[in-house]
Amino acid sequence: MTVTTIARGAGLAWSVPNILTYGRVLAVPVVAGCLFWPEFAAARWLALAIFIAAGVTDFLDGYLARAWSQQSRIGQMLDPIADKLLVSAVLMMLAADHTIASYSLAAAIIILCREILVSGLREFLAELKVSVPVSNVAKWKTTLQLVALGFLIAGPSGDDIVAGVTMTGLVLLWVSALLTLYTGWDYFRAGLKEIVAE
């Protein structure tokens, strides 16, 4: 029984859903590299195209894993990590080129701090065998973050085509930051309950 389980897990490591997740991880340095030259419109559009493709795989990998019964431990571990790497790297690059600046940096900090907090709490709760399911609000939060960052990656290049692209991205970033606080509280409350129970 043990040998069969291990072999099946090894086979699932290279399943289509997991390959999509690996691709999302590999997209992170490519998108960041393109944003390293924000003054070149072509680089921004390439970053946006890769970012959108990565965002689509975020939906597809989970959907296909469930539909094809190819859920695996490595997929469950890497999927949220890939999301956090992508969002964090893009936020840092957009802050570096001043697409996100002034008071809007607070929204970026809120998002980054929440991701670190939730990662720590998940690890703590996992040791206690406590599961905190992902809520629908959390899924909307992730989607809104990706949409906001898509607008901001287009940034000034997008503004040259349609006025207000960057501003739209900043507004959506603030909305996603507020949702981030709300969903982060769910994890914090669950962790606090276990700490008090100790």
Domain ranges of the chain: 2-197
Encode pLDDT of 35-74 as tens digits: 988 778 899 999 999 999 998 988 888 778 888 888 777 8
Please give the Cα distance from 161 to 49 (Å, whole number): 16
Query: Please, are residues 134 and 124 in contact by the beta-carbon 8 Å criterion?
Result: no
What integer pLDDT is reported at residue 173 of this predicted model?
97
What integer pLDDT is reported at residue 5 of this predicted model?
39
What integer pLDDT is reported at residue 103 of this predicted model?
93
Encode pLDDT of 73-104 as tens digits: 787 778 888 888 999 999 999 999 999 999 99
In order of 64, 67, 105, 126, the CA distances from 6 in angstroms are 21, 22, 45, 21
Which CATH fold would you assign to the domain 2-197? Four Helix Bundle (Hemerythrin (Met), subunit A) (1.20.120)
